[in-house]
Structure 1
Amino acid sequence: MPVTHLPIIDISPSTDADTTHKQKIAAEIHSAAHEYGFFYLTGYQIPEQLIKDCFEAARVFFDLSPSVKSQIAIEKSPCHRGWYALGGEILDPVHQQEGDIKEGLKIGNDLPLTHPLVTKNIPLHGPNLWPQTDQDINAAEWKNTMQTTYEHFCATGLELMQYFAMALNLKADYFDCWLTPPQAEPMATLSPIRYPPLEPDDKKLSAGAHTDFGCLTLLAQDDNEGLEIAMPDGTWLSVPPIEKTLVVNIGDMLAFWSGGKYRSTLHRVQNRSGRPRQSLAFFYDPAYNTPLSNLTNNPNMNSAATSEADNEVKTALDHLLQKIGDSFSYQQNR
């Protein structure tokens, strides 16, 4: 097993009749979120074969020609879905204006055009863009793999947020009202990513230093290293892949809800493995009208605290729109 300073937290189901087991897990998550903003997760209920199938489906897509991939280019989506090319995302515009050396996909909550949130033109809500069947891809199987993976990650994300609620001394189901359909449609995104190998003398980064925009990120890695997190002393700590684990990190929203108790940690990617690197990022973000209020000051906050007419409280949608607008080149050219 690779050497790591990050905690490895096991959330395997327990047969305990009381809450002792869950409270122990919540305490471990609290400590890791406070000290690092990152930890490894094991014991989750996502089939390993499904993750492997998703990696393979993504590889097949990324191997297609740019002209074929561009049929579902993110620029064609009204709700930030589809494929973006190398340089399409610019996570650190100060140090890497030409954008990240990676390509990726955005697969979200696949809402039909008739859904109320779509007919109301709520940004970031709508249907996904799916590849068409050709000699390399069976569209129905490809879509099913991605959607099944998305659903499993949603379930694990919800389970983790219940532990975070306990860690913040809230009821375990505190966040459920912003994350559980049909009362709420989470703005979650499954994002397969491929990083081509960097040249040995290349000063560029595969992904520029950034914090994640939303609530919680779950990450599956292939067997190539590359992910690094910023430490308080200014050094960078490698987060190597460990078999049968996911990497979990805190996003801006959860850091804000916690009143700064939890770190939304700066991180970056450098693929110097000499071969393509793949990852599978799942960004678990709440419903669009979720208020971004400090829960340590307002523990009674609920989903009714913010209405569409309330401009005093920033919402999850406000934050995501700002961050996406800042970091995607096609948004800046509109």
Structure 2
Amino acid sequence: MAAAAANAPTIPVLDLGPYLAGAPGAAEATAAQLRHICETIGFLFIVNHGVPAGLVAETFEAAARFHALPLERKLAVKVNPVLQGYMPLRGSTTRTSNLSTGNKPNENEAFFIKRRGEDAGAADRWPEDLPGFRATALRYYDAMDALAQRLLPLYAAALDLPADYFAPLCDDPLTGLRLTHYPPAAYGANEYGIAPHSDSSFITLLAQNKVPGLQVRTPEGAWIDAPVVPDSFVVNTGDILHRWSNGRFISTPHRAFNTSGGPRYAIPYFFHPNPDTLIDCLPSCAVFGEAPRYEAMTVEQYMAWFRGQNYDHVRKANAA
């Protein structure tokens, strides 16, 4: 595992308490902080977010129970082309980042959950005889959905847009919850728990992990460890918001390892706008006299490309 840089910048902490309580001036002040963070590092911790700590703990425990199942039971709900179900160990290879090339398959396994009606087959992608697993995962999913929607007005204000700008573009969002297991490993060349990458999302919400292993790349190129901030979520800008903001908000590369000697679990939630939302340069992010930096495309088009690059079963299906 590569060491993080000493004396590197820290990941900022944003207190959502005043904003969520409706304190006078809190929305404007919090949006200003968020703007600065998203334009300089793209990663932050949020605290006082309103998600019960007990629910987070239950979801980590549910992830551990699923991954403790025998392999044949997990393979009974093997992942489908739209990323629902179980992805075996080394089932993905990071190819969408130019930070590291020749990556070997990622040293993790995961259970993917999605809740959109278009994702036919979701009903048969739940494990049998695992009491409480589905109910816990969906309660957590509900909490993440609600938190993401509460954050949208902040992101709009941070981008100098009306508070409700994103509401009609994200009222049927493409979301996903991933319950990931990183087994302990000794990493060789080009080996990672998950290789350096940026997320495809508008934003990603990652519950605080008691077992460290996440590293974030600063704009200066240093890798820094994400510390343990109790009862927090790591929030990062994804590629879709980066493209939508014409590069103004940074989609920060990150990577993960597990050298703890024991299992490490992660429960990231990915929030994307509606599949048919066109990701084109936001009006507040256009530069006079310059063309947008990125080609316009819908969320669905971008996600199809992203899945085809990184997930081996999707690549094989596309090549067939």
Please report the TM-score for the alignment, with normalisation by the length of structure 2: 0.87
Measure the CA separation in 2 of the matches of 1:4 and 1:275: 28
2:89 to 86, 89, 95: 86
Q: Deviations over 1:11-31 (max 9, x none)?
A: 112353x4x111111011111
Q: Deviations over 1:185-242 (max 9, x none)?
A: 2110011111011227676211001110121000013211111111222220111221
Q: Please give the residue correspondences for 1:81-160 in structure 2 after superposition, counting only pairs within 5 Å.
A: 81-92=84-95, 95-111=101-117, 118=118, 124=119, 127-128=122-123, 129-133=125-129, 137-138=130-131, 141-160=132-151
The answer for the alignment partner of 1:284 in structure 2 is 271
Cα 1:126–1:157 shift into 2, 3 Å: farther
Q: Which amino acid aligns with 1:231?
A: T
- Using the TM superposition, give the Cα deviation of residue 56 of structure 1 relative to its aligned residue in structure 2, in angstroms: 0.5
243-252 or 268-277, larger mean C-alpha shift: 268-277
Measure the CA separation in 2 of the matches of 1:4 and 1:126: 44
The answer for the alignment partner of 1:307 in structure 2 is none
Q: Unaligned stretches of 5+ in structure 2? A: 1-7, 287-294
Whether the 8 Å contact between 2:245 and 2:285 is mirrored in structure 1 is no
Q: Which amino acid aligns with 1:267?
A: H
Q: Which amino acid aligns with 2:15?
A: D
Q: Deviations over 1:144-182 (max 9, x none)?
A: 1111111110111111121000111111111111222xx
The answer for the alignment partner of 1:316 in structure 2 is 299
Q: Which amino acid aligns with 2:263?
A: P
Cα 1:264–1:15 shift into 2, 3 Å: closer
- Using the TM superposition, give the Cα deviation of residue 6 of structure 1 relative to its aligned residue in structure 2, in angstroms: 1.1
Percent identity, please: 27
- Using the TM superposition, give the Cα deviation of residue 324 of structure 1 relative to its aligned residue in structure 2, in angstroms: 0.5
1:327 aligns to 2:310 (yes or no): yes
Measure the CA separation in 1 of the matches of 2:32 and 2:209: 29
The answer for the alignment partner of 1:115 in structure 2 is none
Divergent runs of 4+, >3 A: 92-98, 200-203, 296-299
Measure the CA separation in 1 of the matches of 2:189 and 2:103: 15
The answer for the alignment partner of 1:199 in structure 2 is 186
Aligned-residue RMSD, C-alpha: 2.1
Specify the SS of the correspondent of 1:318.
helix
Q: Please give the residue correspondences for 1:188-267 in structure 2 after superposition, counting only pairs within 5 Å.
A: 188-199=175-186, 204-267=191-254
The answer for the alignment partner of 2:164 in structure 1 is 173
Whether the 8 Å contact between 1:186 and 1:285 is mirrored in structure 2 is yes
Q: Deviations over 1:34-66 (max 9, x none)?
A: 111100011112111111111101100000111
Specify the SS of the correspondent of 1:72.
coil
Specify the SS of the correspondent of 2:127.
coil
Q: Unaligned stretches of 5+ in structure 1? A: 112-117, 119-123, 300-311
Q: Which amino acid aligns with 1:66?
A: L
Q: Deviations over 1:218-275 (max 9, x none)?
A: 0013211111111222220111221100000000111112121110011111211221
The answer for the alignment partner of 1:164 in structure 2 is 155
Measure the CA separation in 2 of the matches of 1:64 and 1:272: 22
Q: Which amino acid aligns with 1:282?
A: Y
Measure the CA separation in 2 of the matches of 1:297 and 1:327: 32
Q: Please give the residue correspondences for 1:71-82 in structure 2 after superposition, counting only pairs within 5 Å.
A: 71-74=76-79, 77=80, 79-82=82-85
Please report the TM-score for the alignment, with normalisation by the length of structure 1: 0.83
Q: Which has the higher contact order (CA 8 A, sep 6+)?
A: 2
Measure the CA separation in 2 of the matches of 1:243 and 1:297: 35
Specify the SS of the correspondent of 2:122.
coil
